Every structure is written in C-alpha cells, then in structure tokens.
A = this chain, B = another copy of it.
Amino acid sequence: MQIGLVGLGRMGAGMARRLALGGVRAVCWDRDDAARAALAGAANIECAENLAALCARLDGERVLLLMLPAGEAIEDTIRELLPLTSAGDTLVDGGNSYYRDSMRRAMALSQQGLRYIDAGVSGGIHGEAHGYCLMLGGTPKSIEIFAPAARVLAPHAESGWLHCGPSGAGHYAKMVHNGIEYGMMQALAEGFALLAARKDLDIDPARLAETWRYGSVVRSWLLELCAGILKDNESLAGIAPVVADSGEGRWTVAESIELGVPTPVITLALMSRFSSQGSSDFARRLLAMMRARFGGHATQPG
C-alpha cells in the first residue's frame, strides 16, 4: 500500500514512521522545511516538495491522510488539493475537526467524486510506539480502502480501530472521547491535590499512583502518566498552573446543550481549564469587591 501524508507535526510524523515501519510507502509533505527534513532518508518514507508533487508521486486511486490542525489549516489544504486530486481518491482527515464540518466536507467532496473519511485519532505522542486508536466515519467503501493503513496505525490489526458510522461519526466519537478525557483528567488531578495537601500523612503520590495501577478501580493510562509525572517532580515545581483547551471540550459541551443531555462533570472540567487560563479573574475581582462593599472585607492589590 501507499499513502500520501500531509502534516508532519508530532502526530503526523509519528504516523508516517509507523506506516513506513508497517510496510506502507508514505509520501509526505509539510509546509515546514524542518519537518520534512526530519523525516528525509527514512526507509519507505519520501518527502515531496509540495502538494502537487505529493499527489503526482502516488499511483492509481490516492489515499491522502491529512494530519492538520482543525479549522483553517484543514479547510485550506482541502481546497488546495481539489485541483490535484481525481474522482476515486480518498481524503482522510485525521485531525480534531468539528464533526459537523466533517459532515459538510464529506457531502461537498462526494459531489466531486472524492471519498472522505473523518478519522478521530487518539494516542498522542505515544501512538507511534503503541499504535493509534482510530475512530472512522465514512462509507463502507471508503473505510475498505483505508483499512490496510488503519491496521498498521492501530495497536493491533483487528482492534483499536473502528468504522463508527457514516461521515461525522468518527469525529463525533473522538469529540466525546476527549470530553471524557477532560473529566477523567480533572478527577485524577483533584485527587492528587488532596494527597499533596496532607503532607502529615507522608503519602508518596508517585508510589501510590504506581500501586493503583495494579488491581484498583481507577487503573488507567492517565493514572500511569500521573505516576510518571509525580515521580519526576512530586511538587510539580516550575510548571505554570495553566491548562490549555482545544476545540473538542467546547464542542462536547455545546453538543450537550444542543441535545439537552447533561454533562455536568465534563462541563465543569472545561470551565476549570478556562479558570486556569485567567478568565475567571474579572468575576473574582468583582466578588472580592462585593465582599468589600457589603462587609468591609479587605481586598488584595493586584
């Protein structure tokens, strides 16, 4: 099999190497010269000088895996690819696109004879070694075309990847996955904060996390990450208490609102990230001032 891979960031580069190792010829491109250079010379990997060259180097019906940021980057790249591709080619969006965008793109591209797969990809930087979990949306035919690559990318040929449903279902599944991830991460973080606050009990949080990996109800991959993080730096010194969020948490909560299906914990986990970014500061200042005005309580300068 051969595949075109566009976008050689942390995820894309790892996927290129995993595909190549699995015997899939990967023709790659990234607009960043350094990203291309980092992969040059690897067995089974070719770097093209531009998108047109990438498309030209692939024989027959092309499969193009796009590992790009959601939003403008993927939208622009699909537009650029349109004149370079032919009916029967398959575009796979492996980024974290909003599932409604994926539904729209699948519809629009199908009218030009192009196949489209929305592929939710989980596994982060560890996916290269352990395999990526793939959630795929699209027609049965398009999934059949991409399946050989999915079998290589996934942790196992027959598990860790799924044809979830029609277009949009892959990115919807990934959106929900990330919403769950927000809640699980927050629960773990809160628990370890309670452990850290009781120095008198002398509990080594890294050793406890390591212990929980065996037989406990909370055993999980995120717990394993916590064990490693706390082993390296128990006090988390030098790490700013600021947690970024990407689109998926917000979309999960928006979906919850649209459906009228409560997701209180996922929502609060998202709100906690907003707070960490400083966006609670106006409300907090106002709260401090209300206390000052009604009760004469001192405020802090800041």
**Residues in chain A within 8 A of chain B (CB atoms):** 122-124, 127, 130-135, 137, 154-156, 159-162, 164-166, 168-169, 172-173, 176-184, 186-188, 190-195, 197-198, 201-204, 207-208, 210-223, 252, 255-256, 259, 261-266, 268-269, 272
Q: Which residue of B lies closest to A208 (CB)?
A: B173
Q: Which residue of B lies closest to A164 (CB)?
A: B203
In contact, A215 and B184 (Cβ under 8 angstroms): no
With A160-B211, A162-B207, A165-B202 given, can you name 16 additional A-B contacts, CB distance below 8 Å? A131-B215, A133-B212, A156-B214, A159-B211, A159-B214, A164-B208, A176-B191, A177-B191, A179-B190, A180-B190, A183-B187, A191-B263, A191-B266, A194-B252, A219-B220, A268-B268
Whether A133 touches B187, Cβ cut-off 8 Å, given contacts A166-B202, A219-B221, A263-B194, is: no
Q: How far is the CA of A215 from the CA of B130 in the complex (A)?
A: 7
Whether A154 touches B256, Cβ cut-off 8 Å, given contacts A183-B187, A190-B263, is: no
Chain B proximity of A167: nearest CB distance (Å): 9
Chain B proximity of A287: nearest CB distance (Å): 15
Q: Which residues of B contact A123 (CB under 8 A)?
A: 215-217
Q: Is the interface of A mostly helix, strand, loop or mixed?
A: helix
Q: Which residues of B contact A265 (CB under 8 A)?
A: 183, 186-187, 190, 265, 268-269, 272
Q: Which residue of B lies closest to A215 (CB)?
A: B133
Q: How far is the CA of A165 from the CA of B210 in the complex (A)?
A: 15
Q: Which residues of B contact A134 (CB under 8 A)?
A: 211
Whether A188 touches B184, Cβ cut-off 8 Å, given contacts A130-B215, A165-B202, A212-B177, is: yes
Q: Which residues of B contact A219 (CB under 8 A)?
A: 133, 220-221
Q: How far is the CA of A256 from the CA of B165 in the complex (A)?
A: 42
Whether A214 touches B166, Cβ cut-off 8 Å, given contacts A194-B255, A252-B194, is: no
Chain B CB within 10 Å, residue with most, of A124, A135, A161, A194: A194
In contact, B210 and A217 (Cβ under 8 angstroms): no
In contact, A172 and B212 (Cβ under 8 angstroms): no
In contact, B212 and A165 (Cβ under 8 angstroms): no
